[in-house]
Amino acid sequence: MDLVSTITLSITLSNLYKMKLRLIYPDLPFWRVETSRIALFYGGIEFEDIRPSREEISKMKIDGTFPFGQFPILQVDGKTLAQTGAIARFCGKLSGLYPINDDFAAAKVDEVIDLATDINKQMSPALREKDPKLRMELRQELSEAILPRWLGFLEKLLEDNGDTGYFVGESFSVADLAIWRLCGWISSGIIDGLSVNLLDSLPLLNNHQTIISNLPKVAEWVEKHQKV
Ligand SMILES: N[C@@H](CCC(=O)N[C@@H](CS)C(=O)NCC(=O)O)C(=O)O
Q: Calculate how far, in angstroms, residue 72's C-alpha sits from the geometric centre of ligand 1.
A: 7
Atom of ligand 1 nearest to the CA of 71: 12
Position 3 scores a pLDDT of: 52
Position 93 scores a pLDDT of: 97
Which residues lie across from 74 on neighbouring strands?
23, 81
Give domain status of residue 119, yes or no. Answer: yes
The CB of 83 under 6 Å from ligand 1? The reply is yes
Domain that holds residue 52: 3-95
67 and 115 belong to one structural domain = no
Give the pLDDT confidence of 62-97 residue by residue, as tens digits. Answer: 999 999 999 999 999 999 999 999 999 999 999 999
DSSP character string of 44-112: T---EEE---HHHHHHHHHHTSSTTS-S-EEEETTEEEESHHHHHHHHHHHHT-S-SS-HHHHHHHHHH
DSSP character string of 136-180: HHHHHHIIIIIHHHHHHHHHHHHHHT-TTSSSSTTS--HHHHHHH
- Residue to mutate, 23, 24, 31, 32, ligand 1, most ligand atoms under 8 Å from C-beta: 32
Instruction: Kindly list the distances between the CA atom of residue 185 and the CA atoms of 3, 31, 54, 96, 133, in Å, as whole numbers in the listed order.
Output: 48, 8, 21, 25, 23
Give domain status of residue 31, yes or no. Answer: yes
57 and 18 belong to one structural domain = yes
Give domain status of residue 226, yes or no. Answer: no
Atom of ligand 1 nearest to the CA of 82: 20
Note the residue count of the chain: 228
| Interatomic CA distance for residues 40 and 97, integer angstroms | 9
119 and 188 belong to one structural domain = yes
| The total number of structural domains that make up the chain | 2
CA-proximal residue: ligand 1, atom 9 (nearest): 71
Position 7 scores a pLDDT of: 53
Q: Which of 77, 84, 137, 152 is nearest to 113 (CA)?
A: 84
Counting as low any pLDDT under 50, the low residues of the chain are 228
39 and 126 belong to one structural domain = no
